[in-house]
């Protein structure tokens, strides 16, 4: 019998990627087979396609921000036919970090689109226990943003309590604008987003967030808690100097192997606390809660969905006019 095939975006090496016909996956015990309906492309995916993701392992099928429909789920048959999202990360549960109740730092985690094939394919497999039904009021495209919202939630969790505090966000991309909205939810006294690009400032304004064009705009009234969502290494020393003495700096943007000149005395003399953020594992239920309540809006951050075949559009240099999140659809369903 001929093995059933499907379409998938396969990245075989730096700048070596194409839609290919590959074998349709078969779910292992405890897994579900999901037909992808929508998948988003983030900055990490773009680095992967351009060949600048330093720790990429090839070949790989990307796609860690997705919405799909369950085709098979022997361990959870009630999900068959349902629209779902899911936590793409499965900690091993056995390493030292897991034993310390720090699953985000798991030394042997399993992750959709990194250690296992991702959702930029007609079908993919995921542990059935990781799945959640997508509420009817959310579109498939919006479901894709629940994963970055989980990251933003963990960033807020890593920071000191935001209630009554002046909060700054550097970078008006997807994560930055999600963090900004969450800061409002948490009762921040003020939230200011630094973003040089006018289109992104317009989206921030649509979401009710105040914006500035440069860090120098904070000179007269520096925030107590700053979230760096740029993923640009050179922003780090500048951001520290823009944080109020005694404040906290939360690094949530990923800069890979990029380095920058940094004077440790900046943090020492200002008594700053620096917090790193890695993934958003364990936040999915909370993400669904804040979105369905209307406290966080996802729609303004999304492009109009395009078919899989147009994935290469994310590599076009559209400057500040590029969409915050490009979304693509599969024809498999």
Residues 35, 55 contacting (CB under 8 angstroms): no
Report the C-alpha gap between 150 and 164 in whole angstroms.
23
Average pLDDT over residues 265-293: 97
CB contact burial 257-295 (16+ within 10 A = b; e otherwise): eeeeeeeeebbeebebeebebbbbbbbbeebbebbeeee
* Predicted local confidence at residue 333, as pLDDT: 58
Note the pLDDT tens digit of each residue in 127-170: 999 999 999 999 999 999 999 999 999 999 999 999 999 999 99
* Helix 146-158 × helix 174-185 angle, to 10°: 60
Q: Give the residue from 253, 261, 293, 257 showing the smallest Cα distance to 152.
A: 253
The angle formed by the CA atoms of residues 259, 240 and 263, to the nearest 5 degrees, is: 55
* DSSP string for residues in 176-203: HHHHHHHHHHTT-SEEEEE---HHHHHH
Residue 121 neighbours by CB under 8 Å, 6+ apart = 6, 7, 8, 9, 22, 36, 61, 63, 330
Measured CA to CA, the distance from residue 41 to residue 43 in angstroms comes to 7
Amino acid 2: pLDDT: 73
Please give the distance of CA 195 from its chain centroid, rounded to a whole number: 18
Residue 1 pLDDT exceeds 60: no
User: Residue range 81-88: average pLDDT?
Assistant: 98
pLDDT of residue 165: 98
278 preceded by cis ω (within 30°)? no
Burial label, 166 (beta-carbon count in 10 A; 0-12, 13-18, 19+): buried
Task: Kindly list the structural domains of the chain, giving each domain's residue range(s) and its CATH number in brackets, ordered by start.
Answer: 5-138+298-329 (3.90.180.10), 151-276 (3.40.50.720)
Distance CA 107, CA 102 (A): 10
pLDDT in tens, 218-274: 999 999 999 999 999 999 999 999 999 999 999 999 998 899 999 999 999 999 999
At 146, phi and psi to the nearest 5? Answer: -70, -30
pTM, entire model: 0.96
* DSSP, res 276: E
Question: pLDDT tens, 111-125?
Answer: 999 999 999 999 999
């Amino acid at each position: 019998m001929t093995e059933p095939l499907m379409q998938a975006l396969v990245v075989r090496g730096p700048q070596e990627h194409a839609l290919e016909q590959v074998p349709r996956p078969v779910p292992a015990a405890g897994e579900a087979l999901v037909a992808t309906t929508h998948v988003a492309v983030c900055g990490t995916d773009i680095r992967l396609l351009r060949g600048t993701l330093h720790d990429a392992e090839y070949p790989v099928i990307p796609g860690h921000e997705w919405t799909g429909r369950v085709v098979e789920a022997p361990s959870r048959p009630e999900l068959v036919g349902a629209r779902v999202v899911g936590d793409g990360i499965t900690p091993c549960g056995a390493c030292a970090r897991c034993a310390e109740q720090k699953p985000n730092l798991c030394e042997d985690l399993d992750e959709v689109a990194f250690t296992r094939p991702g959702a930029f394919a007609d079908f993919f497999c995921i542990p059935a226990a990781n799945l959640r039904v997508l509420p009817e009021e959310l579109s498939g495209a919006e479901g894709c943003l629940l994963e970055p919202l989980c990251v933003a939630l963990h960033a807020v969790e890593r920071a000191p309590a935001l209630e009554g505090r002046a909060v700054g966000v550097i970078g008006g991309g997807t994560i930055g604008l999600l963090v900004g909205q969450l800061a409002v939810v948490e009762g921040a006294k003020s939230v200011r987003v630094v973003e040089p690009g006018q289109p992104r400032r317009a989206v921030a304004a649509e979401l009710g967030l105040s914006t500035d064009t440069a860090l120098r705009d904070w000179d007269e009234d520096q925030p107590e808690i700053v979230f760096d969502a740029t993923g640009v290494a050179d922003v780090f020393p500048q951001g520290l100097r823009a944080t109020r003495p005694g404040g906290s700096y939360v690094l949530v943007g990923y800069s890979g192997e990029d380095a920058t000149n940094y004077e440790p005395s900046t943090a020492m003399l200002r008594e700053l606390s620096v917090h790193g953020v890695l993934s958003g594992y364990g936040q999915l239920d909370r993400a669904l809660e804040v979105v369905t309540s209307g406290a966080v809006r996802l729609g303004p951050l999304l492009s109009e969905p395009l078919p899989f075949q147009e994935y290469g559009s994310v590599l076009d240099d559209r400057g500040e006019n590029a969409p915050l999140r490009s979304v693509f659809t599969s024809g498999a369903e």
